[in-house]
Amino acid sequence: MDNKILELKNEIETKLADISDLAELDHARVSYLGKKGSITSLLKGMKDLAADQKKAFGADVNKLKAFASELIENKTNELKEKQIELEIKAMPKFDISSPANLKTGSYHPITLVQRQCETVFKSMGFTVEDYAEVVTDYECFEAVNIPKHHPARDMQDTYYLENGQLLKSQTSAAQNAILRKYGPALINDGVPIKAIFPGRCFRNEATDACHENTFFQMEGMMVDKDISISNLIYFMKTMLSEVFRKDIKVRLRPGFFPFVEPGFELDISCLICGGTGCPSCKHSGWLELCPCGMIHPNVLREGGIDPDEYTGFAFGLGLTRLAMMKYEIKDIRDLNGGSLKSLSQFIDDEE
Amino acid sequence: MLLSMNWIRDFVDLDGLDLVELINRFSLSTAEVENEIFFKGKDISGIVAAEIKSVEDHPKSKKLHLLKVDAGEPELIDVVCGAPNVRVGMKTAFAKIGARIGDITIAPRELAGYTSYGMCCGESEIGISDDNSGIMEITDDIPLGTDIKTIYDLDDIIFEVDNKSLTNRPDLWGHYGMAREFSALTGRPLKTPETDDLSVYDNLPKVDLKIEDTLCKRYSSIKVENIKRNISPVNIRIRLFYCGMRAINFLADLTNYIMLEMGQPMHAFDARKVEKIRIKRFDKPFTFKTLDGVERNIDENTLMICDDNTPVAIAGIMGGLDSEIVDDTTTLALESANFDAASIRKSSVRLSHRTDASMRYEKSLDPEMTVPAIGRFLYLLKKYDENITVVSSLTDEYAVKFPPVDLCFDQAFVDRYTGIQIDSDTIVKTLTGLGFTVSFDGSSYAVSVPSWRITKDVTMNADIIEEITRIYGYDNFEVNTARSPLYPVRMSNVKSTEEKIKDLLVKKFSLHELHSYVWAYNDELKALGIPVEKNIRLVGATNPNIETIRQSIIPTQLCQVKSNVSFAPEFGIFEIGRVVNGVDENNLCIENKMLAVTLFSKTKNIKDLYFELRDILAAVTDDIKHCELEFAPCKAEHAYEHPINLNKIILDDKVIGKMGIVHPVVNKKIDKKANIVFAEIDINLFSSAKGNAIIYDEPSKYPSIEYDLSMDIPAEVYFGTLRSCWKNEGGDILRSVSVVDTYDTDTVHRITVRFEFSSNDRTLSSAEVQDIIDKIIANLAEKNVTIKNA
């Protein structure tokens, strides 16, 4: 082999061994294998050689070329690997077990409970109605069979306004409007009235951990030709089981409310102990949840519906109470308190 | 109301039944029973009647005595006793060795050097009264050594019924009415109480009695003389005590006993003080001393019982001090009356004096009860004081009768209402058991409602359903869904808009939903320097801070922000709530449902925060209405509004709300370092705005041409108003308009807008695009907008 070739081979070996940088390596590659590189130059010097030497020289240069190419390629791979290794080492090890940074908003717990109730009733074909907070004495009392001087008006201290209107003390204040809105379709086309109306109610009373002057109820009513007590129990049980996501036992006791006859107090099996008795249910196994009943004939009549032809049930579910039970909120005032510390916890509760 | 099972069992035989289970059924069928049931006398045993044979002073104690007691055994028993009322010959209740009183078992016990082999008991110790002044004195003729439980009804089950659940049941305010319920529940017969035959007094003179006011429906009276007994029999006292009343004297106790038994309040007057009974109201107010010694103000609406013109009792509430039974009373005038329920209720509220009697009268008692109650009273009076003399005939003025109630309905009605099959036998038996008169002809029922149910609660067929079903038991109901036809349900637009807004604000913009009160927060607003603006007010709120209804949620939210400043360096809150904006021409409140949003930030500059709120509103509008909001500057009207940065929010050419920056004065009171912006939108206006439908815009296959215009916009011109400059010029080839850059200095407000043109059926020529651009530039020029790159 020609000395020049050997020298160059040695030089390449030595040089590449020292290189630790990809850019430098590329530079070396160009200096050996490039168009003006040393190996290429060797080939160019071949024209001065004798013909018999040319062949062997050419073969040797090509061998050197192959050798250098391989060496450079290996070196490139080696350096790339090293570089990745360095890159890996350079990155710190992140501890993702630290608290997550959740930039989440929140719903008011009443919204969550209200939506769960609405979802169940919507799935059963009930419309969701909206109603005013300021109503007339007629809507709140007269229309739902609570005439003037009726003792039931004492039972609830009402917020009256200067103009004689009042802040509705119960969602039943919407019953008459609902009956009048959907009554014609019932009478003319046989479309049953199925409506719920969640809303805020107001009672003129002092507040404490268990009492609020502003709270939510959800009224529900269904009117058709043959609506029965049996239906009422079914709808209440179904709705409550869906809301609490477990099989809820319900029981009815007679209860007196002027807008229903018969009227009931509805109890549900205790959510904490399931009915075996615990401090939450005062060891009775039951929790009193909501008044309900068959709509009083006078209420139907006042709403333009003939009670001899149609029957219906109605209930008044305490949404505030339901939310408190569901989320174990001890102080009712937290709900209207406006504290983000309390209320930002209610992210979402849909299934 | 406390109820004695023994008392109920006087009228219905409940032998062999599980009484606790029965009380539970009663709770499910009649009225709510409180959880705790009391088993009286359960922890008392081994107490016998014994006589004190000798009493010696204890040598070492001033209080203690050394007794020898005869408990009916061969030997006298040595007892050390501390009661002050011990005396030789006294009969008392004696707890023998081994007797149990509560947790204590009596054993020999040393007291100051002497051993006591048993204990003489006071009434409070054995739980039959609250008298703890000494040991019990037994006056009844009982053989010594007799277990007192065999003579006295110490054993009883007492349960409490929630009075509220009896509001509509005037018939259940006494044990007899309750017994009727138990009779119906068990199917066992109801016994008639034993009464005195009042007809034997018919020849005696009448009581001078006149109803002068129809607020008195009925007044029955009789006079009795020669009453010797002073203290009630022990068993009567036990019942009264178990049912929560204290024994007073025999006559007073007996009136209370009748009230607790029959539900009929009674009053015993000293007959010397009431010769001419007159029931009336007075024209002028006056004061009157009731038998509890309290001077009360009587007004012209209060019905009074009078001796001619001298008031002697407040009708249905309480008797007077001057006519009450006293020690030397020998003649009694008995009142058994019925008054207008509403009148008694109002008087009792006015006097703030609610008594056991008024509580009953205000429920509309059955006037038919007055005479049987007198019969029962005399029966018991004679039983316990044999030598009394009735000195008048029964005198009964019956001014107002309730009309009878007869109802008629068929089996189908019951089936339809209940949704289950209850057979006619059950129906007839149930109603009969409750005292209704029923006839059934195979399809229809004719029902007469008993007098004790017509005063209030049973007046129509639906009421009968309740009677049938509650006794049938709601637990026994087969539960079925309704068979109503199905129709599509349309949700109200507002409701679904509301829910979408909530979702967007919470999920997309991380805002927090809060609730607040509908009235102005007086104190908190004062602290922020925001005056409570004049609006409709509440009257008679218990809390003086609750007065004016709010016109906007924003002031409330600023109060909420203030109380949450330390929650996080940055947060946003929202509420969908009501406000009232004055009254309309009919004097009815104009109520509006508003969405209010307030953002608070210590980290963002005010411009970024303001634009963030703008973007939130725009995104909500885009998501729900698929269109853009417009804004126009407006004048600040409220203390919290920034004088310059305040905008009307316009949708569909209607003003639907307002957004702005909080006035610096208020802002600083909330937090000196934070920025606060707010917006309020009328939800109904937002919801009813038309918006745009989504129409598919097919992407063009041909190249599009983009054209940027850098516009220098004068300070007084709102970018939003420039839209009209290109809206009508672009035809169907102007596909989109977007802002690519803004450049602001003190003097220049430059916005670079990119117009994108393309056609679905051809490649556009630059000439036609230039043509449109020229028109746009000309339009802009009219608004004093100059183009920098033209």
Strand duo B570-583 + B512-513: pairing: parallel
Query: Could B35 and A103 be called an inter-chain contact, meaning their C-beta atoms sit closer than 8 Å?
Result: no
* B544 interface with A at CB cutoff 8 Å: no
Stretch B618-629: mean pLDDT: 95
- Residue B380 and residue B437 in contact, taking contact as beta carbons nearer than 8 Å: no
DSSP-based three-state secondary structure for B537: strand
Backbone conformation region of residue B46, classed left if phi is above 0, alpha if psi is from -120 to 50, else beta: left
How close is the nearest chain B Cα to the Cα of A317, in Å? Answer: 19
**What φ, ψ does residue B522 adopt, rounded to 5°?**
-45, -55
Nearest CA in chain A to B32: A253
Q: Note whether B653 and B562 are same-domain residues.
A: yes
**CATH classification of the domain holding B86:** 2.40.50.140
In a shared domain, residues B355 and B301: yes
Question: What is the per-residue pLDDT for A3?
Answer: 80
Q: What residue ranges of chain A have pLDDT lower than 50?
A: none
Q: Which residue of chain B is at minimal alpha-carbon distance from A285?
A: B35
Chain-chain contact of B513 with A237 (C-beta, under 8 angstroms): no
Q: Identify all chain A residues contacting B27, using CB atoms and an 8 Å cutoff.
A: 253
List the strands of the sheet with B641-651, edge to edge: B512-513, B570-583, B589-601, B675-682, B654-662, B641-651, B630-633
Instruction: Report how many domains make up chain B.
Output: 6
Query: Is B310 within the bounds of a domain?
Result: yes
Check pLDDT > 70 for residue B332.
yes
List the 576-605 stretch of B: residues with Cβ below 8 A of A.
Answer: 578, 580, 583, 587-589, 591, 593
* Token couple for A120: 């169940």
Residue B110: inside a domain? yes
Cα–Cα distance, B145 to B570 (Å, whole number): 84
List all residues 6 or more positions away from B774 whose beta carbon is below 8 Å from its beta carbon: none
State phi, psi for B624 to the nearest 5 degrees: -95, -40
Neighboring chain A residues of B518 at a CB cutoff of 8 Å: 133, 167, 200, 202, 214
Give me the residue spans of the domains in chain A. Answer: 3-90, 109-343
* Helical packing angle, B461-472 and B411-418, nearest 10°: 60
Judge whether B721 lies within some domain. Answer: yes
Beta-carbon separation of A226 and B483 below 8 A: yes
pLDDT of residue A44: 79
How far, CA to CA in Å, does B77 sit from each of B69, B142, B506? 5, 19, 84
Measuring CA to CA, which residue among B680, B671, B646 is closest to residue B574? B680
Strand (E) or helix (H) holding A75: helix A51-90
d(CA B434, CA B360): 20
State how far residue B601 is from chain A, nearest Cα, in angstroms. 14
Strand, coil or helix: what is A233?
helix
Distance CA A292, CA A265 (A): 6
User: Can you tell me the mean pLDDT for B214-227?
Assistant: 95
Residues B716, B594 share a domain: no
Residues 6+ apart with CB under 8 A from A249: A237, A268, A269, A275
CB contact under 8 A, A264 and B474: yes
Q: Are residues B117 and B176 in the same domain?
A: no
Q: Are residues B294 and B264 in the same domain?
A: yes
For B163, the domain range is: 2-40+157-186
The CA distance from B368 to the nearest CA of chain A, in Å, is 23
Residue A217, CA distances (Å) to A113, A174, A315, B155, B683 in order: 11, 12, 10, 45, 21
Mean pLDDT of B322-328: 84
Residue listed under structure tokens 């570089």 = A83
Verify that B77 and B105 share a domain, yes or no: yes
Cα-based angle B82, B87, B88 (whole degrees, multiple of 5): 130
State the Cα–Cα distance between residues B225 and B232, nearest whole angstrom: 17
Distance CA B386, CA B75 (A): 37
Q: What percent of chain B clears pLDDT 70, i.e. is strictly above it?
A: 100
CA pair distance A309, B623, nearest whole angstrom: 46
| List of residues 6+ apart from B150 with CB closer than 8 A | none
Q: How far is B540 from chain A (nearest CA, A)?
A: 7
With CA atoms as reference, report the closest residue to B8 among B223, B243, B206, B201: B243
- B679-702 pLDDT, tens digit per residue, is 999 999 999 999 999 888 888 899
Which residue spans within B215-343 are E strands per DSSP? 216-225, 266-270, 276-280, 286-289, 295-298, 304-307, 310-314, 318-319, 332-339
Which amino acid, residue B416? R
The CA distance from B98 to the nearest CA of chain A, in Å, is 34
Q: Which of A149, A230, A261 sits opposite B462 (nearest CB)?
A: A261
Within 10 angstroms of residue B701's Cβ, the number of other Cβ atoms is: 10
Do A159 and B541 lie within an 8 Å CB cutoff?
A: yes
B209/chain A closest Cα distance in angstroms:
31
Contacts of A338 in chain B (CB under 8 A): 514-516, 559-560, 563-564
The token pair at B667 is 């802002």
pLDDT per residue as tens digits for the range B90-129: 999 999 999 999 899 999 999 888 999 999 999 999 999 9
Confidence (pTM): 0.85
B168/A107 Cβ within 8 A: no
- Give me the residues of B, 24-53, that contact A with CB < 8 A: 27-32, 35
Judged by a CB distance cut-off of 8 A, whether residue B538 touches chain A is yes
Range with lowest mean pLDDT among A150-159, B84-93, B185-194: A150-159
Q: Are residues B282 and B426 in the same domain?
A: no
Look-up of token digits 């007269």: A142
Please state, for a pLDDT cut of 90, what percent of chain B lies above it: 87
In a domain, B521, yes or no: yes
DSSP A174: G
**Does B287 map to a domain?**
yes
Nearest-CA distance A243 → chain B (Å): 18
Does the distance separating the beta carbons of A335 and B479 come in below 8 Å? no
Give the tokens for residue B775: 């028109």
**C-alpha distances in Å from residue A11, one per residue of A27, A32, A43, B19:** 15, 10, 17, 113
Residue B500: partners with Cβ closer than 8 Å, 6 or more residues away: B623, B624
> Would you state the pLDDT for residue A107?
97
Residue B356 has pLDDT above 60, yes or no: yes
Pairing of strands B437-440, B395-398: unpaired
Identify whether B695 is part of a domain.
no
Pairwise CA distance, residues A326 & A335, whole Å: 13
Partners of A226 on chain B (C-beta within 8 Å) are: 416, 419, 482-483
Contacts of A133 in chain B (CB under 8 A): 518, 578, 591
Q: Which residue has the tokens 């006791």?
A: A253
* pLDDT for position B700: 87
B516 and A111 within 8 Å at the Cβ level: the answer is no
Give yes or no for a contact between B46 and B147, defined as CB atoms under 8 angstroms apart.
yes
The answer to whether residues B711 and B597 belong to one domain is no
- Give how far B119 is from chain A: nearest CA, Å: 37
CB contact under 8 A, B492 and A338: no
A129, A206, A224 member nearest B484 (Cβ): A224
Q: What is the 3-state secondary structure (H, E, C) of B568-613?
A: CCEEEEEEEEEEEEEECCCCCEEEEEEEEEEEEECCCCHHHHHHHH
Q: What are the chain A neighbours of B475 within 8 Å (beta carbons)?
A: 251
Inter-chain residue contact B416 with A206, CB threshold 8 Å: no
The CATH number of residue B727's host domain is 3.30.70.380
Same domain, B141 and B209: no
Domain boundary among B476, B509, B528: B476
Q: How far apart are CA A268 and CA A276, in angstroms?
A: 12
- Report whether B570 contacts B612 (CB < 8 A): no
- B322 and B415 part of one domain: no
For B388-434, the pLDDT digits (tens) are 999 999 999 999 999 999 999 999 999 999 999 999 999 999 999 99
Q: Which residues of B touch A297 (CB under 8 A)?
A: 460, 462
Indicate whether B127 and B245 sit together in one domain: no
Record: contact A283-B35, CB cut-off 8 A: yes
Closest chain A residue to the Cα of B563, Cα to Cα: A339
Give the other-Cβ count within 10 Å of B633's Cβ. Answer: 12
Phi then psi for B662, rounded to 5 degrees?
Answer: -70, 140
Structure tokens at B470: 């509650």
Nearest to B539 among A162, A202, A340 (CB): A162
Question: Quick one: tokens of B588?
Answer: 């009815």
User: CA B152 to CA B328: how far, in whole Å?
Assistant: 29
Contact call for B518 and A214, based on CB within 8 A: yes
* Measured distance CA(B181)–CA(A190) in Å, rounded: 41
Residue A195: what residue type? A
Contact B465 A103 (CB under 8 A): no
CB B385 within 8 A of CB B363: no
ipTM of this complex prediction, to 2 decimal places: 0.86
Contact B482 A122 (CB under 8 A): no
Check pLDDT > 90 for residue B720: no
- Looking at the complex, does the CB of residue B570 fall below 8 Å from at least one CB of chain A? no
pLDDT of residue A351: 62
**Rama region for B3: left / alpha / beta (φ>0; ψ in -120 to 50; rest):** beta
Q: Count of A–B CB contacts within 8 Å?
A: 239
Chain B contacts of A263, Cβ < 8 Å?
Answer: 466
Do B371 and B422 lie in one domain? The reply is no
**Residue B502 scores a pLDDT above 90:** yes
How does the average pLDDT of chain B come out, rounded?
94
| Contact residues for B769 (Cβ-Cβ < 8 A; gap 6+) | B705, B707, B733, B757
Residues of chain B with C-beta less than 8 angstroms from the C-beta of A191: 485, 487
Taking contacts as CB-CB distances below 8 angstroms, the residues of chain A near B465 are: 229, 261-262, 294
Report yes or no: B463 at the A interface, CB cutoff 8 Å: yes
CATH class for the region spanning A109-343? alpha beta
Range B592-621 average pLDDT: 97
Kindly determine whether residue A151 and residue B362, on different chains, have CB atoms separated by under 8 Å. yes
Residue among A218, A293, A220, A212 at smallest CA distance from A252: A293
CA distance B338 to chain A (A): 18
**Residue of A104, A123, A162 to mutate when probing chain B, most B C-beta within 10 A:** A162
